[in-house]
A = this chain, B = another copy of it.
């Protein structure tokens, strides 16, 4: 009955996400988004409403991608090892200066309480929950709730440090030490 969109919506969100991930929300211009997606400005606004809404979709896409890396079953120790190995590996990669889009956004929007800030914080708690789940699975009720909570904090802080410090300090020993320090609590090393 009528004309349909002639681009793949998901693909465009992916492309936009990568720009936002690299340059941040404010650091990304409509020009950047037009170039990365190959769409004209009007098409972007027609399909995604606004820069803000497009970013929201990108944040959700990023979180959705992340969720597929979350712990579900299997050896929690192995999971943690692989988790931190990946963080360090990506961190030392000179081409990888992106950090984590959710953490980046929490930092960029800290200070305001608008929709993007609130969303970023909510998605941050998903990472926290994931790490708590791993800790619980590892210690299998041999530790109290408050002990688990402390370990969760240490895991979150370590992940945050590695992801964000690696944006400007590509020092493998440094990043590995952060990981090993928290893995110690699991009698593990990278």
Binding site for B on A (CB under 8 A): 22, 26-27, 97, 99, 106-107, 109-111, 117, 120-121, 124, 149-150, 153-154, 157-158, 160-161, 164-165, 167-169, 173-174, 177-178, 181
Q: Complex formed: what's the CA distance from A88 to B97 in Å? A: 28
Q: Which residues in B have their C-beta under 8 angstroms from that of A157? A: 157-158, 161, 165, 178, 181
Separation in Å of the A178 CB from the closest CB of chain B?
A: 5
Q: Complex formed: what's the CA distance from A124 to B168 in Å? A: 10
Residue pair B22, A111 in contact (C-beta under 8 Å): yes
Nearest chain B residue, comparing its CB with the CB of A112: B97
Nearest chain B residue, comparing its CB with the CB of A167: B110
Extra 15 A-B pairs, beta carbons < 8 Å, given A22-B111, A109-B168? A26-B26, A99-B110, A106-B168, A107-B107, A107-B167, A110-B168, A121-B169, A124-B168, A149-B177, A150-B177, A153-B173, A153-B181, A157-B158, A160-B161, A160-B165
Q: Which residues in B have their C-beta under 8 angstroms from that of A161? A: 157, 160-161
Q: A97-B111, A160-B161 in contact; A153/B167 too (CB < 8 A)?
A: no
Q: Complex formed: what's the CA distance from A168 to B100 in Å? A: 15
Q: Which residues in B have their C-beta under 8 angstroms from that of A178? A: 153-154, 157
Residue pair A160, B150 in contact (C-beta under 8 Å): no
Q: Which residues in B have their C-beta under 8 angstroms from that of A158? A: 157
Q: Complex formed: what's the CA distance from A161 to B158 in Å? A: 8
Q: Complex formed: what's the CA distance from A150 to B177 in Å? A: 6
Residue pair B165, A177 in contact (C-beta under 8 Å): no
